[in-house]
Amino acid sequence: MKALVVGAGAVGQVFARHLQQGGGEVTFLVRHGHLDRLREGLTLYPLNRRRARSRPLHFDAFQVIIDPGEIGARAWDQIYLCLPSTALREDLLVPLSVAIGQATLVTIQPGLADLGVILQHVDEFQVVAGMVSFVSYPAPLPGEAVPRPGIAYWFPPLLATPFSGSAERARGVVGWLRRGGLPARLHPDVLTLAAFVVATQMCLTAGLECVDWSFSRFRQSPLLQAGYAAFREAARVAGAYHSAEPPLLLRHLRPVMIRPLLRLAARRRPFDLERFIAQHYTKLHAQTRLLIAAYIEQGRQRQLPTAALEQLQQLLGA
């Protein structure tokens, strides 16, 4: 089995390492500026292991290419797009579509319109959609001690990364990742699930960004109510887009529930959740804005309310 992992960030490294553990030959496609770092091998901190921070793993024995034109020189079984939504709007998909052959393309991009962008270049039957359910970040976070910089990652208990697509291809993705130790499962419709999850996530993280990522300030701020109002609109848009009802938990979510959930979440992780969110979503600030804009656009097309989403968009712009 041969896998191409497009992008060698916090998510791409986790997928690549477990694909390799599952018996695969892994190649990264990255920009030239990352080549030297990858040649030296990568440092990983699997936080589900005991003493993970003091005993990092050295991840190597993979190949690296920097020219998208080289993709067609090899035959791939699976290609993983481990990139933010904004990167799909660049020129990468053109050479990829020419060279993909019969490979399965695994997309984990969370935007409503992201699959449509991909399907302009790749046949739908080749695409398997996933939604990342693990946490990964460049370590150390502020205040965290590790022997050397690397990528730390954590698989939450009982929360496997879901994938959907044609039965044979989705089973191939899930089976390979499971063999490598990454919790994965089949799901009937990841895109619909992701649309509702993103509706929640982007509105809450946008509100947090407006208070400099402080959980305590966010809990006491009017932005919590503003973020919740935006979430309600985004959930309606997601439901209309996919002709589906939100999951039961999200249907009953209220601001009074969010406050204790934020307190609990901060205490039940093997890392500082507040600092992780600040680091992670600061890096993805352009993606957050792209996602909100997409929900506003789809809401307007369907004549649904988007005033709260637009207010959140303006606050982020300010």
Q: What pLDDT is stored for residue 266 in this prediction? A: 59
- Is the pLDDT at 117 greater than 80, yes or no? yes
- Is the pLDDT at 45 greater than 70, yes or no? yes
Higher-confidence position of 278 and 68? 278
- For residues 161 and 177, the answer to whether their CB atoms sit within 8 Å is yes
Q: What pLDDT is stored for residue 169 in this prediction? A: 98
CA distances from 105 to 22, 112, 173 (A): 18, 18, 10
Which pLDDT band holds residue 24 (cuts at 50, 70, 90)?
very high
Whether domain 192-317 has CATH 1.10.1040: yes
Task: State what percent of residues in the chain have pLDDT above 70.
Answer: 96
Q: Given 3.40.50.1260, 3.40.190.290, 3.40.50.300, 3.40.50.720, which CATH number is that of 2-187?
A: 3.40.50.720
Q: What share of the chain is helix, strand, coil (3-state, %, to 5)?
A: 50, 15, 30
**Where do the structural domains in the chain lie, given as residue ranges?**
2-187, 192-317
State the alpha helices, DSSP H only, in 50-189.
93-99, 114-119, 167-179
- Is the pLDDT at 81 greater than 80, yes or no? yes
Domains 2-187 and 192-317 share a fold: no
- For residues 295 and 237, the answer to whether their CB atoms sit within 8 Å is yes
Distance CA 94, CA 74 (A): 17
Which pLDDT band holds residue 265 (cuts at 50, 70, 90)?
low
130 in helix, strand or coil? strand
State the alpha helices, DSSP H only, in the chain.
10-21, 35-39, 93-99, 114-119, 167-179, 190-210, 215-220, 222-242, 248-251, 255-267, 273-283, 285-301, 307-317
Supply 274's token pair. Answer: 């507040």
